[in-house]
Structure 1
Amino acid sequence: MAKKRIKMLTAMAASSWSLSPGQITEVNAEIAKAWEAAGIAKLVEDEVETATIEPKETATKRRRRKG
């Protein structure tokens, strides 16, 4: 059975699992469609997360004025 990635919009729990708002998880396609229609979750496209590295800050030396 096909799986779909969803992002939870509300909290949901059962005796053996729980999902929090904002949590991304995989469920069966049928369940994903039903939860999306009910407003419980939304489908998530397969996004590739990328990290960026900011350059380090460097201090400059103070120069004395001549004169």
Structure 2
Amino acid sequence: MKDMQASLEKLRTSAAEAALVRDLATEPKKRALYTTLADQLSKLADEVERAIEQQRGRAALKERTGSQPEP
């Protein structure tokens, strides 16, 4: 779980850096490229965050019931 949290933080940081480069870019093509990159990194971070939440939910269910939930 800690490695997923670290990955989430890296993705969020990378998305913010891409957005910063986008905001500083003067060329339209470069601005478009970094807009796409920032958007994709944000989407990936959202997916990792959902996966973390699902794992936490499964772990909590397992703790309460004493059994392994189905994937």
TM range (shorter): under 0.3
Normalized against structure 2, the TM-score is what? Answer: 0.25
Normalized against structure 1, the TM-score is what? Answer: 0.26
Larger CA Rg, structure 1 vs 2: 1
Q: Would you tell me which structure has more helix in proportion to its own residues?
A: 2
